[in-house]
Each structure stands twice: as structure tokens, then as C-alpha cells.
Amino acid sequence: MDASNDLFVRWMGLEQKLVERFGKKPDLETVLFLIGIQEYGELKSKFTKEQKQDLIHVAVCTLLSQSGYFIYERTDDDGWPHFRQLKAMPTMSLKEQEDFIKDHVLLYFEQKGF
């Protein structure tokens, strides 16, 4: 089994768990949004479009901090986490970027015991 096939199988497993939990299959952006909410730590009934983008940004920074691309710096007065970029991202195709993020999502959920 090659690495991309292994990633596909592991991702399908995560999707299945999320379907069982939430009742529908989320796309990658939705998964990032959920991670952002988890890391922000506050569930609101409504988020603005800008807040949704910020939550996805928090998720990406959190995920990539696992590989040393970002480091958590502080939480601001409104409760938003802030990160500093430590190193540049490697050049990748869109498919490689998606797989890179998915691999980090899987690691995140594994570390959270999900």
C-alpha cells in the first residue's frame, strides 16, 4: 500500500467517525472549522464570515505547529489564539497541500484520542 492510499484509508475512517458523530459527511473546510472552534474554545450559535475564516486560520496554524511551521504565542483579550510562523511552507501542488493538511488533521485527532 502506498502512502497516498494509506492516507485515503485513514481519512475515510475519520470521515466515518465524524458522520457517526454529526450525522453528515464534512468536507475538509468543515473539519478545519471544527478544529478552529475546538482550539478557540467557545461555541457560539453564530459566527461572522470573518470569524469563520479566523477559525480556519487558527486550525491551520494549530495543525502545522505539530510540524514546527508555527508556534503558539498568546491568546488575545478576546480569547483568540495567535501564532508566529517559524518556517516557510514547502512548494506543493494543490493535491499535495490537501494531503499535507489531511495528514496533520489525522494526527491532531489521533492526539486528541478521537
d(CA 68, CA 73): 13
Contact assessment for residue 58 and residue 36, using Cβ atoms and an 8 Å cutoff: yes
The pLDDT of residue 3: 65
d(CA 83, CA 66): 12
The pLDDT of residue 109: 95
Per the prediction, the chain carries an average pLDDT of 93
Question: Per residue in 45-58, pLDDT tens?
Answer: 899 999 999 999 99
The pTM of the whole model exceeds 0.85: yes
Q: Does residue 68 surpass a pLDDT of 90?
A: yes
The tally of domains found in the chain comes to 1
Residue 2's pLDDT band, with cuts at 50, 70 and 90, is: low
Q: Does residue 103 surpass a pLDDT of 80?
A: yes
Structural domain boundaries enclosing 17: 3-111
